[in-house]
Amino acid sequence: MTCPWQWPEIERRYHSNSQGPLHALQNTHQCNVNLLLLAIELDEKTLFYSKSFWQQCRDCAEIFEQSILRPLRAVRMQVKQLAPQQYSHILITELGLERDLQQQIDTLASQLPLSTQTETTNLMTYLGIQGVKEAEAVSHSLSNVCHQTTNVN
């Protein structure tokens, strides 16, 4: 089964107004930005994955984040002011690694069925798994910001 999304399309949501709220969730709750954006995209397409899918994605992303991306981000932030050229190189490497994670998510998705009916949204499910308090309010706010961003572009 092929995935009903394209990552470049999903990544457009990241630009402009949505970066702040996405990074806030990344920093405060260790949410993965790719998974947040994917959840919003699927919700807009009224396609839903089970809680099990989101748990597997979270686990996959967490291993990847903990072992590779967070240490790399920390180094990138340390060199930002001191060595702008190295900062750019590290950022490019980080983005390449993000693509690897996207491929892992695609592999998981190809193994599990989608549904057009659910009791909750993908974003609410993922935020709940991440332990985000007031997930409904955060979900609504984030969806609005990301939706406005895609309508502007």
* Digitized pLDDT (tens) for each residue of the chain, 153 residues in all: 678 889 998 888 887 667 888 888 898 889 999 999 999 999 999 999 999 999 999 999 999 999 999 999 999 999 988 898 899 999 999 999 999 999 999 999 998 888 877 788 999 999 999 998 877 667 767 777 776 555 544
Q: Is residue 102 part of a domain?
A: yes
Question: What's the full length of the chain, in residues?
Answer: 153
Domain assignment present for 96: yes
Cβ pair 105, 55 in contact under 8 A = no
Indicate the number of domains in the chain.
1
Which domain range does residue 63 map to? 7-152
Residue 116 lies in a domain: yes
- Asked if the structure places residue 24 within a domain, the reply is yes
